[in-house]
C-alpha cells in the first residue's frame, strides 16, 4: 500500500501536537494540516497555558493523570533545553488558595507537579481572605510562541499546512485515507456534536514584570499566571455563551478581583483583553469512527472537547490519537492485502 495520507483538521494546540505525534510515530505517513485559522487566531492563543489540570467527569482519573503526566514530562524536557525560550515553556511557582478548606486536599495531579505542599501560616498571611492553600511549581506555555514552535517543527518534517474551512469531513475522502478531527468548538457544527458546548472565557494580558508567582483562587475563576513577557489575569467561565466580543464590565470585574489577590497589579500597564470559547464536554472525544456512504468508507479519529484543560493534557491525548491513527493504518493495510489475494 502507498504511504497513507492523513489530514489533521485544526491548528490549535490539539491539532498541531496531534500532527506532530503522528509524524513522530508513523514516519511512513504523509501528514497535512488543514485549518480555518492558525495562530494567533485560535482559542489556544487566548489560553493562559498553565499546566493545572481541569477534571473531566466522564473520563477515569487514572487516564486523566496519565495524559497530564505525559504532557508534563514532555514540556519539562523542553523547559530544560536550549529550545525553552523559543517554545515559550517555563517553570513557574506559586499558590492555589481557598476561602474554605477543599474536600480533596490532595488533587490527583499533586505528585506530578513539583514540590506540592500545603502552604504555611506565614505564606497564608499574604491572602487574608483565604484560609487554606497549596504551594507548588508547575509549567506554563506562552501560547502563541508554543503554537509557532509546533508549526515550525511540523514544517521541518515536511508537513504541509493549508488554510481551509472543512464543511463536511466527507469532502476529504477522495484526497486522504484518514482524517483526524481536532476542531475544538468547531466540532459542534462540523460533526453536529450536541454534547459539546462553549464555556466562554475572558482574560486580560497585562505588563507587570514584577509579579513572578502564580496565584489561583481554588474556585478556578480568578487567577494570575505570569508568562515570559506578559501576565494572563482572569477570568470567567460562562457556559453556553458564544459571544467572542470583550465585555467592558467583565474587564473591570476581572481587574478588581485580581488586584484583591495581588494589589501590586494596580500598576499593570498595556492591558489587552482576549476572549476564547473553551470546547467543553463531559469527556474528551478521543475515538475512532468509520464513516460510510454508498459503500465508500472514511476512517476518522476524533480528538476534541478538551474544555478548560487542553494545554494541561495535550501531549497525552495527542499520543493516544496517534495510536488510533496507527490502528487505522493497520486496518487499511489489512484491507489492501486481502484485496490482493
Ligand atoms: P482551538 O485552539 O480552538 O483549535 C481548533 C482549530 O480548529 C482552530 O485552528 C480552528 O480554526 C480549526 N477549525 C475549527 N472548525 C474548523 C473547520 N470546520 N474546518 C477547518 N478548521 C476548523 N487550558 C489549559 O490547560 N491551561 C490554561 O491555563 C488554560 N487557560 C485558558 C484560558 C481561557 C480564557 C480559555 C478560553 C481557555 C483556556 N484553556 C486552558 C483551555 C484551552 O485553551 C483549550 O482546551 C484548548 O485551546 C483547545 O485546543 P483545540 O486545539 O482543541 O481548540
Ligand 1 atom 31: residue of nearest CA: 47
Biggest alpha carbon–alpha carbon distance for the chain:
76
What distance in angstroms lies between residue 12's CA and the mean position of ligand 1's atoms?
Answer: 5
In the prediction, which pLDDT does 82 show?
98
Q: Which of 20, 35, 315 to mutate to test the pocket of ligand 1 (most atoms within 8 A of CB)?
A: 35
Is 44 annotated as ligand-binding? yes
Burial class (CB in 10 A: 0-12, 13-18, 19+), 200: buried
pLDDT of residue 103: 87
- Going by C-alpha positions, the residue among 305, 340, 323, 319 that lies closest to residue 56 is 305
Tell me the pLDDT tens digit for each residue of 125-175.
Answer: 999 999 999 999 999 999 999 999 999 999 999 999 999 999 999 999 999
Q: How far apart are CA 170 and CA 184, in angstroms?
A: 18
Number of residues assigned to the chain: 341
- The protein residue whose alpha carbon is closest to atom 23 in ligand 1 is 309
Q: Is 162 annotated as a binding residue?
A: no
Whose CA is closest to atom 33 on ligand 1? 47
Answer yes or no: is 166 a known binding residue.
yes
CA 19/CA 1 separation, integer angstroms: 21
Which of 9, 67, 308 is the best mutation target for the ligand 1 pocket, counting ligand atoms within 8 Å of the beta carbon and taking the most? 308
Percent of the chain with pLDDT over 70: 99
Distance of CA 258 from the midpoint of ligand 1 (Å): 24
User: Residue 2: what pLDDT?
Assistant: 80
For the residues 280-292, what does the mean pLDDT come to?
A: 96
278 is in an annotated binding site: yes
pLDDT of residue 80: 97
Please tell me the residue having the least CA distance from ligand 1 atom 34. Answer: 201
Q: Could you give the domains of the chain?
A: 5-336 (3.40.50.720)
pLDDT band per the 50, 70, 90 thresholds, residue 340: low
- Please give the number of the atom of ligand 1 that sits closest to the Cα of 308: 41
CA of 282 to the centre of ligand 1 (A): 16
Rounded Cα–Cα distance for residues 206 and 254 (Å): 12
Give the separation between CA 121 and CA 168, rounded to whole angstroms.
57
User: Could you give the CA distance from residue 189 to residue 196 in angstroms, rounded to a whole number?
Assistant: 10
Among the listed residues 224, 231, 236, the one whose alpha carbon sits nearest the alpha carbon of residue 260: 224
Grid coordinates in use for 5?
495520507
Amino acid at each position: 500500500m502507498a504511504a497513507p495520507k492523513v489530514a489533521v483538521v485544526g491548528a490549535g494546540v490539539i491539532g498541531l501536537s496531534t500532527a506532530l505525534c503522528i509524524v513522530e510515530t508513523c514516519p511512513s505517513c504523509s501528514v497535512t494540516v488543514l485549518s480555518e485559522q492558525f495562530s494567533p487566531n485560535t482559542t489556544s492563543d487566548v489560553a493562559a497555558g498553565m499546566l493545572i489540570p481541569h477534571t473531566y467527569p466522564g473520563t477515569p482519573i487514572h487516564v486523566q493523570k496519565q495524559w497530564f503526566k505525559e504532557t508534563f514530562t514532555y514540556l519539562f524536557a523542553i523547559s530544560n533545553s536550549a529550545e525553552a525560550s523559543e517554545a515559550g515553556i517555563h517553570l513557574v511557582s506559586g499558590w492555589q488558595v481557598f476561602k474554605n478548606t477543599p474536600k480533596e486536599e490532595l488533587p490527583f495531579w499533586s505528585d506530578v507537579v513539583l514540590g506540592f505542599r500545603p502552604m504555611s501560616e506565614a505564606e497564608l498571611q499574604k491572602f487574608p481572605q483565604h484560609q487554606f492553600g497549596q504551594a507548588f511549581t508547575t509549567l506554563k506555555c506562552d501560547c502563541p510562541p508554543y503554537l509557532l514552535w509546533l508549526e515550525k517543527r511540523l514544517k521541518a518534517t515536511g508537513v504541509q499546512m493549508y488554510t481551509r474551512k472543512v464543511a463536511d469531513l466527507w469532502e476529504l475522502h477522495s484526497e486522504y485515507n484518514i482524517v483526524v478531527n481536532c476542531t475544538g468548538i468547531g466540532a459542534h457544527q462540523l460533526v453536529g456534536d450536541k454534547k459539546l458546548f462553549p464555556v466562554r472565557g475572558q482574560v486580560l494580558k497585562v505588563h507587570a514584570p514584577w509579579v513572578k508567582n502564580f496565584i489561583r483562587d481554588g474556585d478556578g475563576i480568578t487567577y494570575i499566571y505570569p508568562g515570559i513577557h506578559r501576565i494572563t489575569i482572569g477570568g470567567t467561565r460562562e457556559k453556553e455563551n458564544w459571544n467572542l466580543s470583550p465585555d467592558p464590565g467583565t474587564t473591570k470585574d476581572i481587574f478588581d478581583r485580581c488586584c484583591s489577590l495581588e494589589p501590586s497589579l494596580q500598576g499593570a500597564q498595556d492591558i489587552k483583553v482576549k476572549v476564547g470559547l473553551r470546547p467543553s464536554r463531559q469527556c474528551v472525544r478521543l475515538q475512532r469512527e468509520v464513516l460510510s456512504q454508498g459503500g465508500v468508507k472514511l476512517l476518522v479519529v476524533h480528538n476534541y472537547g478538551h474544555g478548560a484543560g487542553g494545554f494541561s493534557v495535550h501531549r497525552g491525548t495527542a499520543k493516544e490519537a496517534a495510536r488510533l491513527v496507527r490502528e487505522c493504518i493497520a486496518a487499511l493495510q489489512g484491507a489492501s492485502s486481502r484485496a490482493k489475494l
